[in-house]
Structure 1
Amino acid sequence: MSTKNTVSRREFLSKISQTGFAAWLGIDMLITKVESVLPSTVAESAPAFTKRGIIQLRLNSGYLEKMRAFYAKTMGFKADLGQGTLRVKTGGTIIEFNQAEQSLQSSDVPYYHIAWAIPENKFRLAKAWLKERTQLLSHPDGRNEFHFRRANRHAVYFADPAGNILELIARHNLKDGAEGPFTLADILYVNHFGFVVDDVATAIGQIRKALHLGLRHEPYDNFATVGDEHRHIVFVSRKRLWLPEMSKPAEAFASEAVLHGTPERTMDFDRYPYRISLQA
């Protein structure tokens, strides 16, 4: 059999990585032909036991007093600071920020990517609400809102005093629209969280084996999502630049995520300070 026109899966992913990833992000590049070979999104029908998203995050951070003021006063969440831990209730998710080493330089303070789900029909209202409270993050091309066509969602980004890259995301496949103006109560739960790895394919294999979470889409060499529409883990390769500003490289910092789901189980990642659990 002739192999002249045969391309391995890894070669294919490598060739479409930059352009294909742009298709996912909604960045305006020459993506039409690439999008045509990618699997389209199927409306999510996740079982009820996954619909509470990510229940808890345990992270390290600095500037806890400033962080408390941001989450409590700027955003309006319930935030309690004591004994080196800031505990913030954000919708259905509890986030614990533990004080990182005091000797760290400001450039070494841990930072993460955290995204909250909002009702799918309230993106415009959410963006206006957020803009009244804090500065929105922009892409180098000037955009401060993003349409992810492949995932059928809209997102807007902002940051907290520790430099965490935060996101409000409206997932249109969920059909979870709500009436009325946008309020704090419309920030429902953490929908996804980013883990930084050196080899995305290896990380996918570990989490699928340990927690039986499935891929949401065909992965790229530097990016993959594992879980379902209501809660999932984002794997990104180390040093890949985080959206939207494309200036902050992805780095690995100690973190723990508890996802809603059964059967209950826990995994610790090889070579990384990461723990992921499923909890009813």
Structure 2
Amino acid sequence: MKIREVVISTTDLGAAADFYRNVLELPVVVGSDHVTVEIGRSRLVSTRGENFAGAHHLAFGISPDDFELARKWLGRQVELIAANGSDVIEGPPGWDSRSVYFRGPDGIVLELIAREADAGVPASSGEVPRMLSISEVGIGVPDVQQAVGELAEAYGLDAFTPRLPAFTPVGDHDGLIILVDRERIWFPTDADLPARASVAVRIDAPKGGGTLALSEAARIDG
């Protein structure tokens, strides 16, 4: 599965444009009511919206050969979120990944993730790590396992590991929809619940399933 586009709301278009352009050094186009960010083969669109509770979560993929570069560079740009005394966070069993986490506009929980599945991707040639795609999008839902079944039926997507009652990724190393219970705090923060705000995700999947509403605010288009 590949994540082609994610659309979320923001309370401040100017702050969103500034963060992605000047902090993460990504290509940004500003419109009258939205900001578009190119992230490798993916696109993030932030639209103007009202205040909301909770936080969105996105992960951007990088080459494993860029991980140390990314960690040092990002540490100069933002404050990294640590867990168990370290800002280098290993993925769950079966992921073969390392990540660094940080916050962005509207408190969004962002992550740069280096997966060994991308070991063949060349390292960046400059001082800024190249972001390959939106690797993950997190969505809070009323019933995680029901949502897992709906994604399997609509798009032919399999559950990834770990499959837990309140946390199950769906997809593969190329792209994951992270389904969580609405009351589950985003790791590695100590208080951030999933955003109670709109999120729309456009994917390439094994089969086309049209539009699927996972909640009153979350939509998948495949």
Instruction: State TM-score, norm by structure 2.
Output: 0.91
Return the alpha-carbon distance in structure 2 between the equivalents of residues 182 and 137 of structure 1: 25
Do the aligned residues in 1 keep the contact of 2:82 with 2:188 (CA within 8 Å)?
yes
Question: Which of residues 89, 96, 109 is equivalent to 2:38?
Answer: 89
Greater relative CO (CA pairs within 8 A, separation 6+): 2
Counterparts of 1:68 and 1:265, CA distance in 2: 32
Structure 1 residue ranges, 4+ long, deviating more than 6 angstroms after superposition: none
TM alignment of 1:39-188, pairs within 5 A:
50=1, 53-101=2-50, 104=51, 108=52, 111-139=55-83, 141-150=84-93, 151-179=95-123, 181=125, 183-184=127-128, 186-188=130-132
The CA distance in 2 between the partners of 1:219 and 1:179, in whole Å, is 32
Give the C-alpha shift of residue 113 in structure 1. 0.4
C-alpha contact 1:54 1:257 (8 A) present in aligned 2: yes
**Greater Cα radius of gyration, structure 1 or 2:** 1
- Alignment partner of 2:80: what SS? coil
Quote the Cα distance in structure 2 between the aligned partners of 1:229 and 1:270: 22
Superposed displacement of residue 175, structure 1? 2.5
Distance 1:269 1:275, change over 3 A: same
- Cα distance per residue 1:247-270 (max 9 Å; x no partner): 212243211111123543323225
Deviations 1:173-216 (A, max 9, x none): 33334245565462100011001012111111111111110111
More helix by share: 1
Amino acid at match of 1:208: A
What TM-score do you get using the length of structure 1 for normalisation?
A: 0.73
* Residues 61, 109 of structure 1: 8 Å contact kept: no
Shift of 1:93: 1.2
8 Å CA contact retained: 1:113, 1:164: yes
Select the structure that is richer in strand. Answer: 2
The residue aligned with 2:142 is: 198
Q: How many residues align?
A: 221
Counterpart of 2:143 in structure 1: which amino acid?
A: D
> Structure 2: 5+ residue runs without aligned partners?
none
How far off is 1:273 after superposition? 2.0
Provide the secondary structure at the position in 2 that maps to 1:132.
Answer: helix
Distance 2:96 2:110 in 1: 19
CA RMSD in angstroms, aligned pairs only? 2.0
Q: Which runs of 5+ in 1 are unaligned?
A: 1-49
Deviation sequence 1:117-166 (CA, Å, 0-9, x none):
10123211211111122221223x43212012502110001111311100
Q: Which moved more, 1:112-121 or 1:144-153?
A: 144-153
Call closer, same or farther: CA 1:94–1:149 in 2, change over 3 Å: closer
8 A contact 1:125–1:181 mirrored in 2: no
Structure 1 residues 146, 120: closer, same or farther in 2, change over 3 A?
same
What code does the residue aligned with 2:135 have? Answer: N
Question: Does the 8 A contact of 2:55 with 2:192 survive in 1?
Answer: no
Distance 1:109 1:128 in 2: 31
- Out of 169, 173, 194, the position equivalent to 1:250 is 194
